[in-house]
Amino acid sequence: MKTIQLTCAHAVVKYIIAQKTLIEGKKVPLFPGVFGIFGHGNVACLGQALQENQKDLPTWRGHHETNMALTGIAYSRAKRRKQIFVATSSVGPGATNMVTAAGVAMSNRIPILFLPGDTFANRMPDPVLQQVENFNNPGVTANDAFKPVTRYFDRITRPEQIISSLPHAVQVMLDPADCGPACISLSQDTQGETFNYPEDFFQEKVHIIRRSRPDDFQIKEAADLIKKAKKPILISGGGVFYSDAMDDLSDFAIKHNIPVTQTIMGYSTMKKDHSHYTGAIGGLGGKAANNLAKETDVAIAVGTKLADFTTGSWANFENPNFKLVSINAGRFDANKHMAKAVVGDAKVSLIELSLALGSWKADDNWHKKSRIELKTWEEYVDKESAPTNQKLPSYAQAVGACYRNSDPTDIAVTAAGGLVGEVVQVWKPRELNTHETEWGFSCMSYEISGALGIKMANPDKEVVSFVGDGSYLLFNSDIYSAVITNHKLIIVVCDNGGHAVINRLQLYKGGKEFNCMLKSSKTPNLVSVDFAAHAKSMGAEAEHVNSISELEEAFKRAKISKNTYVISIHTDGYQWLEGSAYWESPTLSMPTTEENKKALKDHLEGKNKQRKGV
């Protein structure tokens, strides 16, 4: 066997470059680039290897380790998990800063490869700068924090270990069932050590994401159950995107006459003018979908982990005869919640299930009801998001102003907070793949960092990020990243004076305003932030507007501009679209105020509707 002598760091980079994938029949790099912040632990060895190979593996500079990893995660989501970014950092805080992003990727089943530096395998210089010593286990380092939030973890202490470890990491990240982040922790001395690697290890390899076929018996059981349904619904999740099953979902819904609801992560898997579109379901959903959910006797969940916001903490399905069919590539997700599991790829499973159902279709009266429910809800949303002259516009009105002046292909980006629910109602999908969010981990700051990754993946589309003042103040440096890399974003900053959605929850649970809004926190010198001026200082075009009409005109200017454009507007922190589903959150069982008593009453009413044994 022919061998080639390389340092471990150079071998890692050479292997990564050799991995390819197919997108629409075209061979492209599986790893299109690296986000990196260099420090001791990754600059001298891995950094040099990246510098020497930057033509084949571009390295992008980050400004914060969390942000750069979020950008890589968003890129992979926008590419529907067909391409994977790498994120590298130094030891210590550089590495642990990426743990939050790893949680985002893990929660949302998104691949990203983390290559953090680590302490010395030989331990001779210990304790090194930034080393967190575990007094009872010297083999534990700060990078062990990645273990709960990655699908695959390995610590490289000898250069030859990557021969087995890297292929395992790649296969985990590409497996539809196990997909998620991988972490290869690189001991800093090992990075510089040499080994005679087999040349075959670096041969080009083209990866194809497999489509797992469902078991015939599971298909038969699911079909038998669905045929008994009087009022079925479909719940379309993010897995429909990853399977590229949007057309199959549409065909299934039409053929079998079943209304389609969408999770937040699956939103825009169906266009708003589709004959069976019913909108978002659950805690952030609309009354159309949730009213159907309350009556349905069979829900067919496709590519979703059925988290609490989707199910209304399992209080959203009130029919005593309710049954669940769960189609998922992941065995873990498919078998949750007493479901009739169909373990398989969404596209293949929908096709085979449709064949098993034959000519069966749901009663047309149920479909007609879904149209009436949708019309009623959309009339309400249109009214609430219409232009207004009120002093402080609502989130819905601000989003509506942008939506009316957007193009059908523009992509809306949200994360965490109250904007997710408002955007998902107002930004109704006129085209597929036009809504991107991070809701599994509900990570503040994804709004801008994620928008950058989505723009990198969709350079020919307009990407519009809706961000609250709270998230903006948490992380905003990727405005500068967008400017200096020529990845134009439109960022709409809705300034409502703090963390308004959590204040909403605080009040709903019977509490008093405390430490969520800036005015109710310890702020003896409260000053307003000039977000437009701040964005301008990072090279963006920016302006502050004072009304919805001004916002519409500013948005038109942002659309024309070739540069990243930030628009700030003061918004009402207390005006929201109607909620229509229960969401369980902690409630005091010993109320001390009338507000507490009401909160406990609402809480118990929701609990009483919860499906048991989930």
pLDDT for res 580: 83
CATH 3.30.479.10 holds for 216-375: no
Domains 3-207 and 385-570 share a fold: yes
**Residues 347, 388 contacting (CB under 8 angstroms):** no
Q: Which two tokens stand for residue 262?
A: 């969408």
Give dist(CA 82, CA 64) in Å, integer. 25
**Residues 242, 80 contacting (CB under 8 angstroms):** yes
Architecture, CATH, for domain 3-207:
3-Layer(aba) Sandwich (3.40)
**Residues 8, 159 contacting (CB under 8 angstroms):** yes
Closest CA to 178 of 304, 70, 333: 333
- C-alpha distances (whole Å) from 252 to each of 109, 302, 323, 452, 587 are 25, 12, 19, 34, 41
Give dist(CA 294, CA 9) in Å, integer. 56
- C-alpha distances (whole Å) from 334 to each of 98, 154, 239, 304, 542 are 29, 28, 12, 8, 46
* Dihedral sign (CA 369, 372, 378, 383): negative
Give dist(CA 25, CA 258) in Å, integer. 33
Mean pLDDT by 10 residues, the chain (614 residues): 97 98 96 97 97 98 97 98 98 97 98 97 94 93 98 98 98 97 98 98 97 97 98 98 98 98 98 98 97 98 97 97 98 96 98 98 98 98 95 97 98 96 97 97 96 98 98 97 98 97 96 96 95 98 98 98 98 94 95 95 95 78
pLDDT for res 26: 96
Q: Which two tokens stand for residue 269?
A: 């898997």
DSSP for residue 255: H
Secondary structure (3-state) at 574? coil
- C-alpha distances (whole Å) from 267 to each of 11, 228, 382, 421 are 40, 28, 18, 11
DSSP for residue 498: B
Give dist(CA 459, CA 163) in Å, integer. 35
Give dist(CA 536, CA 528) in Å, integer. 17
- Measured in residues, the chain has a length of 614
Closest CA to 571 of 491, 468, 471: 468
- C-alpha distances (whole Å) from 563 to each of 225, 410, 552 are 54, 16, 18
| Bond from prior residue into 320 cis (ω within 30 degrees of 0) | no
Instruction: Using CA atoms of 479, 106, 286, 463 in order, give the dihedral in degrees to the nearest 10.
Output: 30
Residue 118's Cβ-side half-sphere holds a number of Cα atoms within 13 Å equal to 28
175 contacts: CB under 8 Å, gap ≥ 6: 210
pLDDT for res 460: 97
Closest CA to 436 of 456, 449, 451: 451
Give dist(CA 148, CA 187) in Å, integer. 20
**Residues 206, 22 contacting (CB under 8 angstroms):** yes
How many C-beta neighbours within 10 Å does residue 295 have?
A: 16
Give dist(CA 486, CA 480) in Å, integer. 10
Closest CA to 427 of 453, 465, 458: 465
Q: Where are the domains of the chain?
A: 3-207, 216-375, 385-570
pLDDT for res 579: 86
Q: Where are the beta strands (DSSP E) in 423-539?
A: 435-438, 463-468, 490-495
CATH 3.40.50.970 holds for 385-570: yes
Q: Which two tokens stand for residue 605?
A: 């009413």
Give dist(CA 13, CA 183) in Å, integer. 15
**Residues 13, 46 contacting (CB under 8 angstroms):** yes
